[in-house]
Structure 1
Amino acid sequence: MNASTEVTVGDRISTGPRRTGYPEWNRFAAVNDEFVPIHMDDEEGRRAGYPGSIAMGRLLWSYAHRLLRDWQPEGRVVALSLRFRGPVLRDAPFELRATVTGVREQQGERLVDVDLSIEDEAGSVLAPGTATVTLPGS
C-alpha cells in the first residue's frame, strides 16, 4: 500500500491474505470487554449455528479502518460501514480489499469514496462495505 494524495477511480487497495484467531481476539476482547462465548469457544459458536468460534464484528471493522489508515496515513476516515453476511472463522484466511469509486471536493475537502470488502479464501464476500477518506492537505 503506497500512501499518496494522487488517487484515481479504480485504484485498488488490499491487505493481502491474513488470519485472525484467539491471540488477537483475546487482546481485542480485553480492551473492549467483549468476551462473548461465540467468539471464544468453538462449541458455543456451533450452538449459534456457525462451524466454530467467529471473529468479533467490531474487530473486523477495525481491520477495515486499519486498511484505510495504512493506505492514507495522513488522511482521515470520515465514514465507514460494513454489512456482515458471513463469519470470519478462527484461523481461516481472509483478505480486506477496497476499490476507489469516487474522488470529489466537498466544502473545501478532497474526499475519496471506496467500496470495500472482507473476503474469505474462496473470494466470497463476508462483509461488503463503503468508506470515505479525507485526503491530506484538504
Structure 2
Amino acid sequence: MTTTATRAAGRETSGNAAGSAKPSQRVRWEDLAVGAGPAPFVDQPLTRTEFVRYQGASGDMNPIHHDEEFARAAGFPTVFAVGMLQAGVLGTYVTDWLGAANVRRFAVQFREQAWPGDVLTYTATITGLREENGQRLVDLALLVTRQTGGTHIRGEATFVVPL
C-alpha cells in the first residue's frame, strides 16, 4: 500500500517537509530495494505569491514569472513557476529521506512549465544499489509530475548510505 504525504498550505514546515523518514531515523542498507522509494509527496497548488517570494529570495526577478502582461507578450498564456523552486522542493524531499550529508549527485531537467494552480507530485524510485570504493551507493530516478500527468521535472540522484 502506498501512502502520500502532503505539506500544509503556505509551505511553512518544521522538520521533514516531505513527510518522509525523519533525518534522525537512519536509513538501513538492508531495507532498500530497487523499485522502492519514499511515499510520494503531493504539494499544495502553486501560487503567484510563491513565485514572487522565491524570486525575491533568489534574486531572479525575471518578469515572466510574475508579470501577466510580460508573460503573454512572450507567447505564454500566463505566468509560470520558477523551476528552481520545485527543484529545491525535490531536493528537500529526497534529503529528508536519505540525509543531506549523503548526497553525491543531484541533477534535474525541466520538461514542461508548471502554472499557478497546478498540483505537483514528487516521487523518487531506487534504480540501483551498488558498492563502489568502499561506499554503499543508492541511485534514484526523480520525477515531479503535474495533475495533468505531464512531467514538470525529471532527475537523477546518488546518495551514500553510511556503513
TM-score (norm 1): 0.86
* Residue 21 (structure 2) pairs with residue 2 (structure 1): yes
CA contact (8 A) 2:129 2:139 kept: yes
Match of 2:14 in 1: none
Question: Could you tell me how far apart the structure 1 residues matched to 2:134 and 2:108 are?
Answer: 27
Quote how far apart the aligned CAs of 1:74 are: 5.9
1:134 match: secondary structure:
strand
TM-score normalised to structure 2 length: 0.74
In structure 2, do the counterparts of structure 1 residues 81 and 48 end up closer, same or farther at CA, with 3 Å as the change threshold?
farther
Q: Could you tell me which amino acid in structure 1 is paired with residue 160 of structure 2?
A: T
Equivalent pair of 2:43/2:121 in contact (CA under 8 Å): yes
CA distance in 2, matches of 1:132, 1:18: 27
Q: Which of 18, 43, 47 does residue 21 from structure 1 map onto?
A: 47
Task: Give the CA RMSD over aligned residues.
Answer: 1.9
Number of residue equivalences:
137
| CA deviation after TM superposition for structure 1 residue 9, in Å | 0.6
Measured against aligned partners, the alpha-carbon deviations of 1:16-67 in whole angstroms (never above 9, x if no partner) come to 2432223322232122101110111223222333321111121121111011
Provide the C-alpha distance between the structure 2 equivalents of 1:41 and 1:47, rounded to a whole number of angstroms. 10
**Structure 1: gaps of 5 or more residues:** none
Distance 1:75 1:7, change over 3 A: farther
Unaligned stretches of 5+ in structure 2? 1-19
Match of 2:7 in 1: none
- Name 2:73's counterpart in structure 1: 47
Seen in structure 2, the aligned counterparts of structure 1 residues 21 and 7 have a Cα distance that, compared at 3 Å, is: same
The residue aligned with 1:30 is 56
**Contact 2:52 2:65 survives alignment (8 Å):** no
Structure 1 residue aligned with 2:12: none
Distance 1:18 1:76, change over 3 A: farther
What is the Cα deviation at residue 11 of structure 1? 0.6
Distance 1:65 1:83 in 2: 13
Q: Highest relative contact order (Cα 8 Å, sep 6+), 1 or 2?
A: 1
1:89 counterpart residue number: 115
